[in-house]
Chains A and B, each alone.
Chain A
Amino acid sequence: MALSIVHRATGIALYVGTLLLVWWLVAAASGPAAYANVQAFTGSIIGRLIVFGYTWALMHHMLSGIRHFVWDLGYGFKANEREALTWGAAIGGIVLTVLIWIIAYMIGGGR
């Protein structure tokens, strides 16, 4: 099943991406200069792309993980059900990501 490998790939990407989370939290705890460095990075094009990618990885992995729960509980094994769950996770991940970024820009841009 093609989406399972995407679940795995996003899991690994999220794993590596926690480095960014650590950098950000430690910078917030260290002071204004360190925090400004993080913001310079996340404000750059590459930084924005990475954070956008991280958002998508998280949303997709979450929905795809919920799909796993449905299977864990013993439901959704019929071919058409598997299809529906898989497409739901794939499309839902993109929709949530875009929604979150629209809200983020509405809020963040306003400050």
Chain B
Amino acid sequence: MSTADTPKRSMRTPLGRVRNLGAAHSGTSDFWRQRLTAVAMVLLMIPVLVIIMMLLGRNQAGAKQILGSLPVAIIMLLFIIASAWHMKIGMQVVIEDYVHNEKLKLVSIMANNFFSIAVALASIYAILQLSSGV
């Protein structure tokens, strides 16, 4: 179970644990980055939903025109970067919880990194291509 769920273990709140770690007080943790990317996605959720609504029922030419416009492309890029990063950290936590064989754990974590990076790169490439109109 996640640390956030088990306050009994420590008197410090999870935020208390990461406070002062920033700005070179010994580096920030994946914990912090997972929160950072999650907050980013919450902030981006309404614009992203609006974009999806705009795309519904349109053909490729229409979708291309919308996805290729600068504000839409930027919002999509931000959302994709945040989610790919967030899901990579999240899945690593899940793997560390369930996979106890050291070699299998290593392979799983590697596969997780490859998958997340591939998802991010393919999406980013597609959006950039739509934006530059090639």
CB distance from B62 to the nearest CB of A (A): 9
Selected from A28, A36, A72, A100, the residue in CB contact (under 8 A) with B14 is: A72
Question: If the complex has contacts A72-B15, A72-B35, are A28 and B60 also in contact, measured as CB distance less than 8 A?
Answer: yes
A71 and B126 contact, CB distance less than 8 A? no
A73 and B91 contact, CB distance less than 8 A? no
Assess whether B107 is interfacial by the CB under 8 Å rule.
no
B91 and A15 contact, CB distance less than 8 A? yes
Complex interface: chain B residues within 8 A of A104 (CB): 52-53, 56
Assess whether B81 is interfacial by the CB under 8 Å rule.
no
Q: How many residues of B contact A (CB 8 A)?
A: 43
Assess whether A46 is interfacial by the CB under 8 Å rule.
no
Complex: how many Å from CA A68 to CA B4? 7
Complex: how many Å from CA A35 to CA B58? 10
Complex: how many Å from CA A29 to CA B60? 8
CB distance from A7 to the nearest CB of B (A): 8
A26 and B122 contact, CB distance less than 8 A? yes
B127 and A25 contact, CB distance less than 8 A? yes
Assess whether B67 is interfacial by the CB under 8 Å rule.
yes
Complex: how many Å from CA A22 to CA B117? 12
Docked complex: B102-134 residues within 8 A CB-CB of A: 119, 122-123, 125-127, 129-130
Binding site for A on B (CB under 8 A): 1-2, 4-5, 7, 13-16, 35, 38-39, 41-42, 45, 49, 52-53, 56-61, 63-64, 67, 76, 80, 83-84, 87, 90-91, 94, 119, 122-123, 125-127, 129-130
